[in-house]
Amino acid sequence: MATQVKNEVLYRVYIVAGALLVVAAMIVAKAFMLSVWQAEGWRELLANRITSKVVTGNRGSIWSSDGNLLATSMPYYDLYFDATVASDLDFEKYIDSLAYCLATFVDTSYTPGGYKEFLIEQRKSGKRYIPIARRYNYRQMMAVRRFPLFRLGRFKSGLIIEIREDRERPFGLLAQRTIGYVRKDAKPVGLEGAFNSYLKGDSLKQPMINMPNGYQQPVRELSEIQPASGADLVTTLDLDIQDIAEQALYRALVEHEAEYGTAIVMEVKTGAIRAMANLGRTKSGKIWEIYNYAVGAATEPGSTFKLATMMALLEKGGLSLEDSVDIEQGKTEFVFKSQTGREERVPMKDASYHPYDSIPVEMAFVMSSNVGMAKLVDEYFVQKNRLKDYLAALKAFHLDQPTGIEIPGEPRPLIKDLQDADWSGTTPLWMATGYEVRITPLQLLTFYNAVANDGEMMKPYLVERIQRYGTPEKVFHPKILDRRIASQKTIAQVQYLLEQVVENKLGTAYKGRVNAYHFAGKTGTAQLEYRTGRGRKKSVGGHQASFVGYFPAENPKYSCIVVIGKPKKGGYYGGTVALPVFRAIADGIFKLRPEVHFPLVQRQRRPIASRWLPRKQAGAKSDMLHFLPQWGLPYRNETGDKPIAILVAAPADTLILKARHLPQRAVPNVVGMGLRDALYELEKRGLKVKLQAYRPGRVVRQSIRPGTPLQGQTIVLTLR
């Protein structure tokens, strides 16, 4: 009996084992068939049905230096419904409440009953990618996700959530071109393009199923995939200063009906860009940030380039500010031989008529005389065959080098060389006045900023640091391009000249002076798209007005350049169009930033600023040595045994008495003398003196040029 039971158990074991072996064999056979016989077919099917989609992490944000958000990525969600996923039981259970929620809170064009019929129809049709909502924010998406049926999850309800991001700028137009963008099939622009490798997040591939209706359905919800986000960018831009600059520039473009304009504000000691505004007109006439003129537009600057010419004359030419130049009342002709050997005459004139002939070099710069600056270059460089020294000086000022600003699109400046094919006899004369050279506003501002910084040139920069989750990954420090672009004496002299452009009544920026603070700078007006036709008739396609300077003049904190192109209304000169914008920016910063104010109480008495000292006054040395000590003015006597002296203000607070050499057999230079001394020196040489109009003051103009041989002439003096 026991043996019979044992055998029965064994039979059953054999039957089960056999069945398992059969099943295993069938599985192996099926696997072999799928992997070998049908492998190619399945691979083709998967290739057609399964693809991948690149999912990128959130793009990093861009911040201003004062903690304001300039650009950030906002996530948006697109919601779809696969009507075939839910079971019949769940669909019947939740269809009424789901239809009510969708019709009430998502698409109010449906009634709850109408939405229910729509969903039932879509389910019967086998639709698997029904649009529910687009561009929902996170809060809205989470609310829909809690709707009846949808709360069961992706694989039980059929709710499909796709995430995408849009770049948002909370302050709209503000610094739009400087911030820039990165777009598909477009060249990257601005900070977004330059730092794209840091800003963009990591990428992951998400498997997608190709649906029969042409849509792609993710295997998993895209909202569940979280690639690493990009780093944040902290810029040097100050939102308040940026707003001041853009508002002032916008008003000027409207007032003068100009085509474009740019304004840059730079921190003198560091080179940090605190504002960069760029505005232009679209084809419809709307004012918008369409191009970064500050970085990318290299044009002929006009008279603002005269600062470089003056510095070259002081550094390499041996010029002294006490020298004189004959501006011929603002109109002259230069005679030179062309390549064919023919003698040609090239006219040059100032922007306006001047009733002066021989004037001090200082006044030629202050009045922005084209004739004066061109004549000085001709006398000190061209006639002495020293043009290489002039060009070497311009290169020493780094005017032939780009600044290396972080954002793309900066061209190299154009400073012509003697070997260039388009170099001509008049090239250095036009270069002296800011023509036949090309430079961007940022490059020119960097040069002026170096003058404001006592000769130390700083690299302009737009980014302070790159950080991730508030922790800095890379920090950008101020960088010195050149510790001294010119001698200390030259820098001090041109700083004085730039102040006189504003403070002197004959200065081109005198109308913009303000009592609350002092600023220094230079106006510029350049002709655009000009050409000379038959009969030397000149046509001009417009003008470019500019002003570049710094403030406060005594202790510069900020430098600024304003360039406005093709104004059509209310004038086109730099002092009329660009200077008011500079003033508006400087006034706004003065009200906003206490660091540009001087303390009301000084612990120590400030030294006398050189611009307040008497200077350029000539006369008897004995009189000056008598009165200067009585007035308590510090001075240094360098006249030797000469009886006639001229006062020169040193860079600090000391006056220098220098000898004025008066020839005995030629007309002397009496500009700067009082009437008594001038009469004595002129009549002693047999000249007859006539006053244009008597008034108290000193001689500012004499009708006969100094150095003219004596012939008993009558000389007319103008006093002021």
Residue 606's pLDDT band (cuts 50, 70, 90): very low
Average pLDDT over residues 203-229: 58
Tokens, residue 151 = 């709360």
User: Same domain, yes or no, for 256 and 373?
Assistant: yes
Question: In this structure, how many other beta carbons lie within 10 angstroms of the beta carbon of residue 323?
Answer: 16
Average pLDDT over residues 57-81: 86
User: Same domain, yes or no, for 548 and 645?
Assistant: no
Q: Look at residues 596, 621, 641 and tell me which one is the last residue of a structural domain.
A: 596
Tokens, residue 711 = 């012939």
CA 689 – CA 704 distance, rounded (Å): 11
For 188, the 3-state DSSP assignment is: coil
CA 51 – CA 216 distance, rounded (Å): 9
CA 370 – CA 331 distance, rounded (Å): 9
Tokens, residue 372 = 């004066």
Report whether pLDDT(27) > 60: yes
Burial of 476 (0-12, 13-18, 19+ CB in 10 A): middle
Beta sheet of 542-551, edge-to-edge order: 287-288, 273-281, 260-267, 558-565, 542-551, 520-528
User: Same domain, yes or no, for 563 and 623?
Assistant: no
Question: In this structure, how many other beta carbons lie within 10 angstroms of the beta carbon of residue 421?
Answer: 6
Residue 368's pLDDT band (cuts 50, 70, 90): very high
Report whether pLDDT(336) > 50: yes
Q: What is the DSSP letter of 527?
A: E
Report whether pLDDT(607) > 60: no
Q: Are 613 and 590 in contact (CB under 8 A)?
A: no
Beta sheet of 618-620, edge-to-edge order: 618-620, 644-649, 655-659, 635-638
User: Same domain, yes or no, for 117 and 215?
Assistant: yes
Which of 8-22, 98-112, 588-602 reaches the highest mean pLDDT? 98-112
Residue 576, domain member (yes or no): yes
CA angle 411, 412, 416 (to 5 degrees): 135
Average pLDDT over residues 179-205: 81
CA 282 – CA 169 distance, rounded (Å): 20
User: Same domain, yes or no, for 576 and 434?
Assistant: yes
CA 195 – CA 188 distance, rounded (Å): 10
Residue 616, domain member (yes or no): yes
Average pLDDT over residues 56-78: 85
Residue 415, domain member (yes or no): yes
Residue 191, domain member (yes or no): no
pLDDT of residue 239: 92
Report whether pLDDT(534) > 70: no
User: Same domain, yes or no, for 6 and 77?
Assistant: no
Which of 3-7, 23-27, 365-369, 602-606 reaches the highest mean pLDDT? 365-369
User: Same domain, yes or no, for 252 and 208?
Assistant: no
Report whether pLDDT(653) > 50: yes
Tokens, residue 694 = 């008597």
Average pLDDT over residues 4-19: 73
Tokens, residue 452 = 């404001």
More confident residue, 580 or 288: 580
User: Same domain, yes or no, for 121 and 11?
Assistant: no
User: Same domain, yes or no, for 123 and 250?
Assistant: no
More confident residue, 584 or 1: 584
Report whether pLDDT(63) > 70: yes
Q: What percent of the chain lies above the pLDDT cut of 70? A: 81
Average pLDDT over residues 261-289: 94
What are the phi and psi torsion angles at 113 (to 5°)? -65, -40
Residue 491, domain member (yes or no): yes
User: Same domain, yes or no, for 591 and 656?
Assistant: no
Q: Across 291-342, where does the E strand assignment appear?
A: 324-326, 331-337
pLDDT of residue 664: 84
Which of 140-154, 193-207, 314-328, 431-445 reaches the highest mean pLDDT? 431-445
Report whether pLDDT(635) > 80: no
Give 188-194's long-range contacts (Cβ < 8 A, gap of 24+): 188/408, 189/292, 189/407, 189/408, 189/409, 190/292, 190/407, 191/62, 191/233, 191/235, 191/406, 191/407, 191/462, 191/463, 192/62, 192/71, 192/167, 193/407, 193/408, 194/406, 194/407, 194/408
CA angle 252, 256, 260 (to 5 degrees): 70
Q: Are 533 and 227 in contact (CB under 8 A)?
A: no
CA 172 – CA 190 distance, rounded (Å): 15
pLDDT of residue 650: 52
Q: What percent of the chain lies above the pLDDT cut of 90? A: 43
User: Same domain, yes or no, for 123 and 23?
Assistant: no
Q: Any idea what the CATH number is for the domain that residue 688 is in?
A: 3.30.10.20
Q: Across 128-231, where does the E strand assignment appear?
A: 130-136, 159-168, 203-210, 216-218
Q: Any idea what the CATH number is for the domain that residue 272 is in?
A: 3.40.710.10
Q: Look at residues 596, 626, 641 and tell me which one is the last residue of a structural domain.
A: 596
Residue 475, domain member (yes or no): yes
Average pLDDT, the chain: 84
pLDDT of residue 28: 79
Residue 43, domain member (yes or no): no
Residue 610's pLDDT band (cuts 50, 70, 90): very low
User: Same domain, yes or no, for 397 and 355?
Assistant: yes
What range does the domain containing 657 cover? 610-719
pLDDT of residue 569: 93
Q: Look at residues 231, 253, 271 and tell me which one is the last residue of a structural domain.
A: 231
Using a cut of 0.75, tell me whether the model's pTM lies above it.
no
Helices 112-124, 88-105: axis angle to 10 degrees equals 140
What DSSP string runs through 376-416?
HHIIIIITTT-HHHHHHHHHHTTTTS----SSS-PPPPEE-
Question: In this structure, how many other beta carbons lie within 10 angstroms of the beta carbon of residue 412?
Answer: 13
Domain count along the chain:
4
User: Which of 570-574, 597-601, 699-703 comes out lowest in average pLDDT?
Assistant: 597-601
pLDDT of residue 45: 56
User: Which of 17-26, 30-39, 398-407, 532-541 comes out lowest in average pLDDT?
Assistant: 532-541
More confident residue, 515 or 534: 515
Residue 612's pLDDT band (cuts 50, 70, 90): very low
Q: Across 552-616, where does the E strand assignment appear?
A: 558-565
Q: Any idea what the CATH number is for the domain that residue 97 is in?
A: 3.90.1310
Residue 103, domain member (yes or no): yes
Average pLDDT over residues 40-63: 67
Report whether pLDDT(583) > 90: yes
pLDDT in tens, 449-491: 999 999 999 999 999 999 988 889 999 999 999 999 999 999 9
Report whether pLDDT(52) > 70: no
